Amino acid sequence: MTRPMRVLGIDPGLTRMGMGVVEGSVGRPLTLVDVNVLRTSSQLPVAERLVSIEIGIDAWLDEHRPDAVAVERVFARSDSSTIMGTAQASAIALVCAARRGLPVALHTPSEVKAAVSGNGRADKAQVGAMVTRILRLDAPPKPADAADALALAITHIWRGGAQSRLDAAVAAARSRA
């Protein structure tokens, strides 16, 4: 049996960044390690907010020592006012993980929804309900950013672990050829 993987899922945002740590492996029950939402004040300059996010992510990486980090892939939505801040917060998450040599995966929202609910168009309530069921929680994590971060970690354990094994097998085959 393979060692359980510990994944930090990050739902990036400049005002609210969901962070959730899940541990487990494919075909086995998953375990919630921790979940929280890092908040920054819109009254502060963006640079200071990004430093707060970096400090918060680094503290979680120190405390929880994940094997990998899964971040929601930023994409252009109709609400373009939040895209820049979300992209900046996402970049901080990527830098914090890369600085430690941790593997980082980007998962699209529809990929995460499909992984946890079976429906790539699931709404926030459906994702929260499935995260609650998968992790055997008493209630859905609040706010939705927390549930989304856990859904990212779950997706990475279920899909990312398999993908990394496939990538390793392809690399090994190429090195023998």
The set of catalytic residues is 11, 72, 145
Classify each residue of 129-162 as buried b or exposed e, where b means 16 or more C-beta atoms within 10 Å of its C-beta.
Answer: bbbbebbeeeebbeebbbbbbbbbbbbbbbbbbe
Whether the CB-CB separation of 9 and 22 falls below 8 Å is answered with yes
CA dist list (Å): 35 to 18, 25, 53, 140, 152: 8, 19, 15, 11, 12
Dihedral angle of Cα 159, 61, 131, 32, to the nearest 10 degrees: 110
CA atoms of 52 and 37, how far apart (whole Å): 13
Q: Flag whether 11 is marked binding.
A: yes
Q: Flag whether 145 is marked binding.
A: yes
Q: Flag whether 72 is marked binding.
A: yes
Per-residue tokens: 147: 């549930």
Cα-Cα-Cα-Cα dihedral sign, residues 74, 76, 79, 80: positive
Whether the CB-CB separation of 85 and 93 falls below 8 Å is answered with no
Residues within the annotated binding site for Mg(2+)? 11, 72, 145
